[in-house]
Amino acid sequence: MKVYFAHSRSHKNEVLDLYQKLKEGLKNVPVSLLSFPFDVRTDNLSDKKLMEKSFQEIDSSDLLLVDLSNKSIGAGIDAGYAKAKGVPVVYVIKRGLPIKRTMSGIASYIIEYNSPSDVIDWFKENYSSF
């Protein structure tokens, strides 16, 4: 299962720890996780090309995983695009943080987590349903 991981690029250092732990924890699960800018170089792309590439990745994904812990317009655009294309949207957010109603309204699932292991456990239990 291919999972595209959308998140705030301006908070990428905060997200990197979560992403690395998810990749490590999902090694034995048939889940392939992909993220800009961690897996795909984007610094040489124009804004238009960046969004085109993002949409291509979403089109070829089985699921969009969106980190809502930090506000991100780009992740919101990715989520709306995925929903319109019929790609399930799963949100992860640190437990206790507020979730915007507009975002929760298009979610297939919302995972509130205390640690990355909460998200890993969810994938281990649910990946086969996608």
Strands 32-35 and 109-113: unpaired
How many domains, in total, are found in the chain?
1
Give the 3-state secondary structure of residue 82. Answer: helix
pLDDT at 8: 83
In DSSP terms, 32 is beta-bridged to 2
pLDDT at 12: 78
Residue 45 belongs to domain with CATH number: 3.40.50.450
- Which residues of the chain carry a pLDDT beneath 70? none
In 11-102, beta strands by DSSP E: 32-35, 63-67, 89-94
Residue that the structure tokens 């595209």 belong to: 4
Q: What is the reported pTM?
A: 0.91
Residue-range definition of the domain harbouring residue 118: 2-129
pLDDT at 82: 97
Q: Which two tokens stand for residue 81?
A: 């695009």
pLDDT at 15: 87
